[in-house]
Structure 1
Amino acid sequence: MSVATDAPAASADPPVEPSPSPARPWRAHLTVAALALAMAVYVTNGLWRDPYNHVLSDNVGDTAFFEWLLGYGVYTLGHGANPFFTDLMNVPWGVNLAANTSISVYTILFSPLTYLAGPQVSYVTILTLNLAGSAFVWYLFLRRWLVASPVAAGLGGMFCGFAPGFISHANGHLNWTAGWIAPLVIWQVLRLRQPGRWLRNGLVLGLMLAAFFTIAAEGLFYTALAAALFVVVWSLAGPVRDEVKAAFGTVLRAVAVAAVVAGALLAYPLYMHFAGPQTFSGTGYNQRYFAEDTAAYLSFPSRSLAALFGLGSELGPNRTEETSYFGVPFVVLMAVAAVLVWRRAAPGRKATLRAIMVVGAVFTVLSWGPRLNWMDAELPIPLPYAALARLPLFDAALPLRLALIVAVVFGILLALVTQELLDKRIDAPNTRTGLTVAIVAALLPIFPLPVRHQDRAPEPDFIANGTWQQYVSADGVLSALPFALNVTADGQRWQAYTMARGGAQFRIPGGYFLGPMTTGEEGREQMGRIGAPPLATDWLFTRAALYGYVTELSNADRAQARSDFAYWDVEAVFLPEKITGSDHMTLFRNAVEVTATDLLGPPEQVDDVLVWRIRPGVDPVDQTE
C-alpha cells in the first residue's frame, strides 16, 4: 500500500513514493516515543514512587504472580530449571507454567535487572515499557501502512496503546499490556507477499510467533484470528483480486515455513500446555460472567477523567477487565469517522476499510460472550460465541478481552479520519472544525488516570536475611500465614524475592496460579480452577485472615492439621507483622495469630515474625513440649 494514496492495503513494501527527508521522520519518531514513554510513566507513577512497598490495589494477586515468574527466571538460569513446570509452588503437585501465563522471554531477558534490583523493579519496568512500546509500535505501523501524517499516526498509536481496555489491564497483566505484539505480527503478515522473500519472511514470522507465544499466548491467538479474518475479507474484494492471485503462492510458501519453524520451537511448550502434568481445560473463570456488557461500550472507565466527575461505570467483572468502555461520544465519533472515510476512499482503499470494519464488527459481537448482557443483566438471547466456547483455545479464553481488538480498530479509524482532516479532504471548514472539536470532546472523558496503588507488607527480615534457612531443610517447605492465594499473596512474592537472589530456596504449598480442579489426576478433561483445591487447615487461616473468623478448635481439627501438614511436608510456618489484602482490604492478622496459636501452640519470635515449627509425627498441640 502506498502510504499517501488510496491503493489497496499492503500492495507495496517499501512505499512506492519517496519518503520524507531523513531528519523529519526521525524527529517525529523520537517525539512520539518520548510522549508514549511519558504517558506510560504517568500511568504507572504510583509504583515507580516506591516499587518495593507499593502494589496495584486492584490486582494484588496478578502482581504477585508476575513477580514470582520474574524471580523464577533468575532461578531457572541459576539452577537449570524447567521454564514450563515448577515444583516450587503448589507442593506436592507443582504448577504447569505452560498452561499459565509464563512470560518466559521476559523472565529471561530481564533476569539481570531482577537479580540486581528485584522482581518489583523488573515488574514495573516491563509494565511501563509495554504501554509505551504498544503506542509507539502502533504509530510506526499506522505511519508505514495507512497514513502519511505523523500526527495522525501518533494519535492513532497513542489511542491503541492507552485505550481504556489496556489501561484496565495495566492493573497487573504484563501479558495483556504487551500490545506491541499485534502490530509486529500483522506487519510481518503483510510482508509475506513480497516476491522472492518467502523463505526469509516465513522464518521471521515463525520466530516471532514462537517468542510471543511465551509472552501473551491469548493475545497472540486473538491477533491471529483478527489477521486471518482481515486477509480473507480483503482478498475477496474485487479491486484487489489480481494482486491476491499474484501473491497467493508466495504467501502460501511463507506461511508453511512459519508453521514449521513455530511448530518446531513450540513443540514442547504446546505439549506441556495441552498434555503435560497439572494441565486442565478452561481457565477457572466463567465465560458467561467474563463477557462484555453491551452497555459497557457506551460507558466510561473507572480510571478516566469522566470517572472523576462520577461518570465511571461498574459494568465490568472487575477493574482489570474493563476492556471496552469507550463512552457514547467516542462510539458516535467512530461511526461518523467510518462513514466519512468510506465515502472519500478509492476502490482499493475501500477493500482495506471493509476488512477493518468487518473485523471490528465481528469482534464486537464475540466480545459479548455466549449470551447478551445489558446493564449488568444477562438476557436469554444466545450469541455466536456460544458455538465457540467449548472449542480448543476458545475454551481457555475470556470473551470480553476480544474487545481489545475493537479498541485497535477504533485507533485505526481515528488515525484515518485525522488524516482526512489534515489533508483538508473534508471541504466545508465548519465541518472540519466541528469534527476536530468532536475528536477532542470524545477523547477527553476517557483520558486515563494513573492505576491505583496501595501499600503492601514489606518483606520480613526473617526472609530477607535468610534466617528462614535455620527452620527448613534444603528445598524444604515453608509457608507464610495465611497460605498464598490471589487475595493473600505475600508468601508467594516473598518466595519470588528469595529466588531472585539466587542461592538456597524453599518451596510453598498453594499459591496463585491456574491448575486442575482436583489434584493427583492428569488429563485435559479436568476443568481449571484458581489455585490449589483448599484443604481444611489452609482454609482455617484464610477464613481468619479475610473475615476475622476464629472458631474453637477440636481434636479433630488438630488431627486434620497433622494430616494436612504431612501432605504438604511443611516444616515451618510464619506470621509477619503485617499481611496484605487486595483493594485496600483490611486483613485480620490477630485472628490468624489466635488460630495458629490454638492449633500449633505458642510461637517463637524470630526477627520480625512469629514462627511455628512443624515436626512430622508430632501432634500440633504438643509441638512446643
Structure 2
Amino acid sequence: MSVAAPTTPAAADRPAAPDARAATKRLRAPLLVALAALALALYVTSGLWSNPYRHAVADNVGDQAFFEWVLAYGVHLLQHGGDPFFTDLLNAPDGVNLAANTSITVYAILFAPLTMLAGPQITFVTILTLNLAGSAFAWYLFLCRWVTPNRVAAAVGGLFAGFAPGFISHANGHLNWTSGWIAPLVLWQLLRMRDQRHWIRGGLILGVVLAVSFSIAAEGLFFTALAGGVFVITWALAKPNRAEARKLLPRFLGALGLTAVVAGALLAYPLYMHFAGPQTFKGTGFNQRHYSEDIASFFAFADRSIAAGLGLGSDLAPNPTEETSFFGLPLMVLMIGALVALWRRADEARRATLRALIVVGAVFFVVALGPRLRLLDTELPIPLPYALLQKLPLFDAALPLRFALVLVGVFAVVLALIIDRLYASAHKKALVAALVLALVPIYPLPLLYRERAAEPTFISSGAWKDYTSDGGVISALPFAINVAADGQRWQAYTMARGGGEFRIPDGYFLGPDVQGKEGKGRIGAVPRATDWLFLRAALYGYIADLDNWDRASARADFQRWGITAVYLPDGEITGPEGPLFRQAVETTATDLLGKPEHVDDALVWRIRPGVDPIDR
C-alpha cells in the first residue's frame, strides 16, 4: 500500500492479499498429500469397492466377517442398548468378551449411521480406505511438525508409513491394525509435553487419546507406548539432554500421572472386562513361535508389492496378512546408509536423537524375532529375549512379528531426515536414484479379492422369524467359525437392518479353551461333537456314518444352545480359500435331522426341544 496518496476503502484491503495467498500456499501441500493418500488408498482397496456386497479380501475372509459383525453390533447398541464389551448374540448361551477381542468400539458407534444406511460391508471398506489414507496423512503432519519443515521429505515419509508393506498386508481384513494414524497422534501428544506451559492440558488430551485408541487398536497402542517410552528414556539419558530432562521431569511426570487418571477413569470398565470379565482368557489363540519374524523377511518383498508381482516374492510369513516387515533389500541398505550419513553430519545433540531412534528400531527388531531365531523358514536353537517376555502380561497376548510394525515409523523418520539433509545438496541425483530403487519395488498392488456367498433371501426377507422368536437361537450350517463365517455375516446384516435379531451358537472370536471359565485363548467356542460333525463335512466333504451316540450328542448340544432351527442356503458356502462342500453338509443334516423344509432359497430343519433328531 502506498503511503504517498490516500486510498479507497477497497484499496485498503489489498495488504491482506499476500497473507491470503500465503495461507493458500501453506494449505496446498497438505491438501495435495491428503488427496494423494486417498487416491492411493482407493487404488489399494479398488477390488472391494467394485462390488462391496459380494467381494471379500481373498486372504482373510474370516476376519472381514468378524469386523463386519462388530460394525453391525454398533447399530444394535444404538437401537437396543447393551454392553459394548460383552454379548450373548454370539456363542449362545455363554457369550463373548468383546473387550478381549478386537472390537473397534469407537468405529462401530461412530459409523453406525452408515452401517444402518448401507450395510456393514460398505462401512468395512470405507473404514479400511480411510485408515490407510489417514495413516499416511497423520504421519505427514507429524513429520512436518516434529522432524522436518521440508514438505517433500515429510510427504515421502508419510506416504511410506501409511502404505508400507506391513500395513498393506494387514489391510487383508484388519481394521484395527490399519489404524496406523494412532501412532503419530499418540507420539505427537507425548512430545507436546515438552512444553511446560500446558502440561495439564497435555495430560488431559493424551488421556482421552489413549482411551479412544484403546477401543480401536489396543495392541497397536501397547506397541506405540513402548516405543515412545524407549525413545524418551534413551533421549533423556543422553549427555546433551540430561540437564533439560531433569528440568522437565517433574511436570512431565505430573502430566503422565494426569494422563493415567483420565485414561484409567475412561477405561476402567473395559480394562476390567479385558483382564477379569466373563469369558476372558490368558494369552492368545495363536502360537507365538509360529508368529515370529524370520530374520530374512526384513530383506524380502511382500506378496502385494511390485517386486512380488515381478516374481521376487517370498513365502517367509505365516500367512499373507502377517507380512509385517518385508521391507526389501534395497530399502534396508538405504536405511543403514542413511543412518550412517546422518550420524556423520550430526552434532552432539542431533546424535542423541538419532541414538534414541536407533535404539527403538533395534529393540523392536529383536523383539519381533520372537522367542527363537528363525532363518529362511527354519527355527534355530538360539533363544532370544522374547523367550523371557512371552509369559509377562500383555506380551503373552501379543504376536511377536507385529512388533516389526514399529520399524515402519522409524524408517519414515529416517527417510524424512535424509531427504531433508540431501534434497538441496550436490547428492540430490544419487538420493533420488536410491529412493526410487528402494521404494518402487515395495509400491503396493491392489488387495486380492474373491466372491463370497450372498445373503440368502430366507434371512434378508425375515422368513427366519417363523422359526424362532426375537432373540432366539438359529444357525446356518456349518456353525460359524473363522473358516466358515457365513452364518455370522448374515446375522450381522440382520442386526444392521434392525427389526428383529437372532442369536447364534459358536462364531468367530477369541475365547477361553475351557467351557465357562478362564483358560488359555483359542479361536471360537470350545468345540462340541455336533458343530465338529458339520464343520468336518464342510471342510473335507466327509460324511459320517451316524449312530445313536451322534444323535444323543446332537440332542444334548441343541438343548444347551437353545437352538430352534438350522438352515442351509441353496448357494455356495464361503470357505477360507474357496467354496466348501455344501452337498456333504446337506447329506449330514438330512441323515441327522430328517427331511428339511424348503423356504425361499434355503433348506430349513426345525429343532424341537427334547425331541431326538431321528424322530422327525
TM-score (norm 2): 0.96
Distance 1:223 1:132 in 2: 19
| Secondary structure class of the residue paired with 2:598 | strand
Aligned pair 1:453/2:446, yes or no? Answer: no
Distance 1:188 1:24 in 2: 26
Distance 2:246 2:516 in 1: 54
1:364-408 CA distances to partner (integer Å, 9 max, x unpaired)? 010000000001110000001111100000011011000000121
Distance 1:199 1:418 in 2: 36
1:572 to 565, 568, 578: 565
| Secondary structure class of the residue paired with 1:527 | strand
- Contact 2:298-2:326 within 8 A present in 1 as well: yes
- Contact 1:193-1:250 within 8 A present in 2 as well: no
- Who is 1:513 aligned against? 509
Distance 1:536 1:283 in 2: 24
2:437 to 406, 429, 441: 441
| Secondary structure class of the residue paired with 1:193 | coil
Distance 2:106 2:431 in 1: 43
Distance 1:21 1:245 in 2: 40
1:479-513 CA distances to partner (integer Å, 9 max, x unpaired)? 00011010100000111111111121100000000
Aligned pair 1:591/2:584, yes or no? Answer: yes
- Who is 2:338 aligned against? 337
Aligned pair 1:609/2:614, yes or no? Answer: no
- Who is 1:347 aligned against? 348
- Unmatched segments (≥5 aa) in structure 2: 1-18
1:330-363 CA distances to partner (integer Å, 9 max, x unpaired)? 1001111111111112222211111111100110
Distance 1:450 1:213 in 2: 29
- Who is 1:557 aligned against? 550
- Letter of the 1:272 partner, please give it: M
- Letter of the 1:98 partner, please give it: A
Distance 1:580 1:164 in 2: 31
1:488 to 484, 505, 513: 484
- Who is 1:165 aligned against? 166
How big is the shift at 1:579?
A: 3.6
Distance 1:213 1:494 in 2: 28
Distance 1:582 1:358 in 2: 43
- Letter of the 1:340 partner, please give it: A
- Contact 2:423-2:431 within 8 A present in 1 as well: no
| Secondary structure class of the residue paired with 2:313 | coil
1:471 to 464, 467, 470: 467
- Who is 1:270 aligned against? 271
1:36-74 CA distances to partner (integer Å, 9 max, x unpaired)? 000000011111111101011100111000000000000
How big is the shift at 1:168?
A: 0.2
- Contact 1:488-1:579 within 8 A present in 2 as well: no
- Contact 1:58-1:582 within 8 A present in 2 as well: no
2:537 to 544, 566, 572: 544
How big is the shift at 1:582?
A: 4.2
- Contact 1:305-1:448 within 8 A present in 2 as well: yes
- Contact 1:306-1:446 within 8 A present in 2 as well: yes
Distance 1:529 1:500 in 2: 27
Distance 1:295 1:398 in 2: 18
- Who is 1:7 aligned against? none
- Contact 2:62-2:576 within 8 A present in 1 as well: no
Distance 1:582 1:137 in 2: 36
Distance 1:532 1:578 in 2: 26
Aligned pair 1:65/2:55, yes or no? Answer: no
Distance 1:213 1:303 in 2: 29
How big is the shift at 1:570?
A: 0.8
Distance 1:72 1:164 in 2: 31
- Who is 1:409 aligned against? 410
- Letter of the 2:182 partner, please give it: I
The CA RMSD measured in Å over matched residues stands at: 1.2
1:414-450 CA distances to partner (integer Å, 9 max, x unpaired)? 11111122231xxxx4x43223211101111111111
- Contact 2:594-2:614 within 8 A present in 1 as well: yes
- Who is 1:418 aligned against? 419
| Secondary structure class of the residue paired with 2:30 | helix
| Secondary structure class of the residue paired with 1:518 | coil
- Contact 1:59-1:582 within 8 A present in 2 as well: no
Aligned pair 1:244/2:245, yes or no? Answer: yes
- Who is 1:206 aligned against? 207
Distance 1:520 1:249 in 2: 47
Distance 1:581 1:295 in 2: 34
Count residues with an aligned counterpart. 597
- Unmatched segments (≥5 aa) in structure 1: 1-17
- Contact 1:74-1:108 within 8 A present in 2 as well: yes
| Secondary structure class of the residue paired with 1:620 | coil
- Following superposition, which runs of at least 4 residues in structure 1 exceed 4 angstroms of deviation? none
- Who is 1:98 aligned against? 99
How big is the shift at 1:22?
A: 2.3
- Who is 2:28 aligned against? 27
How big is the shift at 1:583?
A: 4.7
- Letter of the 2:66 partner, please give it: F
Distance 2:182 2:145 in 1: 16
Aligned pair 1:383/2:376, yes or no? Answer: no
